[in-house]
């Protein structure tokens, strides 16, 4: 199983901040990325406040909160964040084109063994993964926004996700303190057709391996 030591989170919006918070508390070195410096400053302030609140409520002690905060780092580019991680979780708005563009960049910047996860709520993980050369290492990790559902995470196994990737992200979800539910993504006709087109095109091309 892939050993995850560093988690990169792409996008410092509400969900991105919550994912980074959970990853840092789970013991992972955590790199939160956003193009906008103001978003990162806001995220740092909010995460510190959430940790202090957790101490106040008795969920963690002050030493654990300080250790989690110390594990947090910030990056102003996808390249900077992704190159260092074994697991990258994108948490950008729910637009297929944006998520595909990010996965193309992640596939280029990440090391060969890095797992790519999408927080897509209803979009096809299989389709997002199809733009990469590592579909077996792509998976969905659905973190929830409403407070009453924060403890739950859905791991979405795409059509090509392999066992090692699934096991690694299930373990990561549990370390983040989440109730993990695994869902197998269904193969719709449209997605299956697109995969066939992509595979056929790949047979007639010479893929360029991603930069390392």
Q: Is residue 208 part of a domain?
A: no
Question: Would you give per-residue pLDDT tens digits along the chain (212 residues)?
Answer: 889 999 999 999 999 999 999 999 999 999 999 999 999 999 999 999 999 999 999 999 999 999 999 999 999 999 999 999 999 999 999 999 999 999 999 999 999 999 999 999 889 999 999 999 999 999 999 998 755 456 889 999 999 999 999 999 999 999 999 999 999 998 764 555 555 555 555 555 554 445 54
Q: Is residue 10 part of a domain?
A: yes
Q: Is residue 211 part of a domain?
A: no
Exposure of 122 by Cβ count < 10 A (0-12 exposed, 13-18 middle, 19+ buried)? Answer: exposed
pLDDT tens-digit series, residues 24-75: 999 999 999 999 999 999 999 999 999 999 999 999 999 999 999 999 999 9
Q: Is residue 210 part of a domain?
A: no
DSSP 8-state symbol, 114: -
Q: Is residue 80 part of a domain?
A: yes
Structural domain for 34, as ranges? 6-203
pLDDT at 198: 52
Q: Is residue 197 part of a domain?
A: yes
Q: Please count the structural domains in the chain.
A: 1
Domain harbouring 116, CATH code = 3.40.50.720
pLDDT at 208: 46
Q: Where are the alpha helices (DSSP H) in the chain?
A: 14-25, 37-56, 62-70, 78-82, 96-109, 125-129, 163-175, 189-203
- Dihedrals φ, ψ of 142, to 5°? -90, 105
């Amino acid at each position: 199983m892939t050993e995850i030591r560093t988690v990169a989170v792409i996008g410092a919006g509400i969900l991105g901040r919550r994912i980074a918070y959970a990853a840092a508390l789970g013991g992972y070195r955590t790199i939160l990325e956003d193009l906008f410096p103001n978003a990162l400053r806001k995220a740092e302030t909010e995460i510190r406040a959430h940790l202090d609140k957790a101490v106040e409520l008795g969920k963690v002690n002050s030493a654990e909160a300080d250790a989690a905060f110390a594990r947090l780092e910030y990056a102003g580019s996808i390249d900077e964040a992704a190159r260092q991680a074994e697991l990258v979780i994108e948490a950008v708005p729910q637009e297929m084109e944006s998520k595909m563009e990010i996965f193309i960049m992640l596939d280029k910047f990440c090391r060969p063994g890095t797992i790519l996860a999408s927080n897509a709520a209803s979009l096809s993980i299989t389709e997002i993964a199809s733009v990469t050369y590592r579909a077996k290492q792509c998976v969905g990790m659905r973190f929830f926004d409403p407070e009453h559902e924060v403890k739950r995470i859905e791991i979405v196994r795409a059509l090509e996700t392999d066992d090692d990737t699934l096991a690694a992200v299930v373990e990561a979800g549990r370390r983040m303190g989440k109730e993990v539910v695994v869902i197998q993504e269904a193969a719709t006709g449209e997605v299956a057709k697109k995969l066939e087109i992509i595979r056929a095109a790949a047979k007639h091309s010479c893929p360029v391996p991603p930069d390392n």
